[in-house]
Structure 1
Amino acid sequence: MTDRPNYITPEGYRRLREEYEALFAVERPKLVETISWAAANGDRSENGDYIYGRKRLREIDRRITFLSKRMAKASVVNPANQPDQGRVYFGATVTLADEEDNRRIVTLVGEDEADAGEGRISWNSPLARAIRRAAVGDLRRVQLPAGEKEFEIMAIGYPEPGSAQ
């Protein structure tokens, strides 16, 4: 992992924590029970429940380890508390317009909660790096896989203080 800060919103951290707890407290104990039952049935070399269970247990353990490391390095940042809400910083929801006036709304979030299909992009993605610190009306160029594009910042929003975000 990099030395970059692992910024994450409170909502994103909550989702990581819920996944960790579901795997550790629910799914893993059920699987261990199934593996124990399958092992007690005799020949393990041809026992599908045992073989699949051990494989799945390794996958769960890897995911639990990954989640615990990400949570330990997480720096929870509540975007609602951003002092300068007139510029684009972590947690901002930004309306962009390209050269053809196609509008796109993106929210800058942590790497662990990014989902481009939902409009949540990593705060460290090329587009997010290009628009960080921009104000409404600023033009920014970004190199995308399809080529260079210019975007105008149309609107910037942050969650209300005290909201779930």
Structure 2
Amino acid sequence: MSKAFTKESDGGDDEGDEGPALPPLPAGSKNYMTPGGYGRLRAELLDLMDNERPKVVEAVHWAAKNGDRSENGDYLYGKKRLREIDRRIRFLTKRLEVAEVTDPSVHAGSDQVFFGATVRYADEQGEEREVTILGIDEANSAEAQVSWISPIARALLKAREGDVVKLATPLGVREIEVLDVRYPAPA
């Protein structure tokens, strides 16, 4: 058989591959999200469908008219980018369909840790840290945001200010003390 009729793999661009973007949801759990996180993902989805995808389709259509597609960089890159956009659209659509939007501001004034809380805690050495507990799809560790399924969030959930909780780490179990719990103000 001629090599022209075989499909070469270009490094994970299979149609069913969702890519390494985000971890899967735990089995049987809900995809909790804040209203802001839901809005950002929905805006990204709409931008991909209404703006980016039509521009790439137009570029691929133009490039296809330019002759030999096998050596046409614009065509090949455009088709690859189109697959990436379609993959992201499928991913976002699935995640938004199962999203459970939870407004953390309903807990404003509470000293107990729930989804959406910003928690300041101290470890055994007295070093203080602060994290905000958010959904899997919206947490960003660079901004001190952790997913509600992360070990630190699971240790902190349902604790109150002043409680000492146990946190399992690769180096063993550590104790941390909850110093402060805050929620966004109601809109």
- Counterpart in 2 of 1:127? 152
Q: Which position in structure 2 is the counterpart of 1:114? A: 139
- Alignment of 1:72 onto 2:78: no
Q: Following TM superposition, by how much is the alpha carbon of 1:69 offset from its aligned partner in structure 2, in angstroms?
A: 0.7
* TM-score normalised to structure 2 length: 0.83
- TM-score normalised by structure 1 residue count: 0.94
Alignment of 1:58 with 2:58, yes or no, is: no
Secondary structure at the aligned position of 2:46 is classed as helix
Does residue 19 of structure 1 match 2:44? yes
More helix by share: 1
Whose relative contact order is higher, 1 or 2, with alpha carbons under 8 Å and at least 6 apart? 1
- Aligned counterparts of 2:151 and 2:86: Cα–Cα separation in 1: 32
Mapped partners of 2:79, 2:42: distance in 1 = 24
Note the aligned Cα RMSD (angstroms): 1.3
Rg: which structure is higher? 2
Give the 3-state SS of the residue equivalent to 2:161 in structure 1. Answer: coil
Cα deviations by residue, 1:39-84 (Å, 9 ceiling, x for unpaired) = 0011000000000110110010000000011111001100001388
Residues in 1 aligned to 2:155 and 2:98: alpha-carbon distance in whole angstroms: 25
CA shift, 1:149, in A, is: 2.1
Aligned to 1:140, which of 150, 162, 165? 165
Unaligned runs of 5+ in 1: none
User: How far apart are 1:146 and its partner, in Å?
Assistant: 4.4
Deviation at 1:94, TM superposition (A): 0.3
Aligned length: 162
Q: Does residue 160 in structure 1 map to residue 155 in structure 2? A: no
Where in structure 1 do 4 or more consecutive aligned residues deviate above 6 Å? none
Separation in 2, partners of 1:76, 1:144: 30
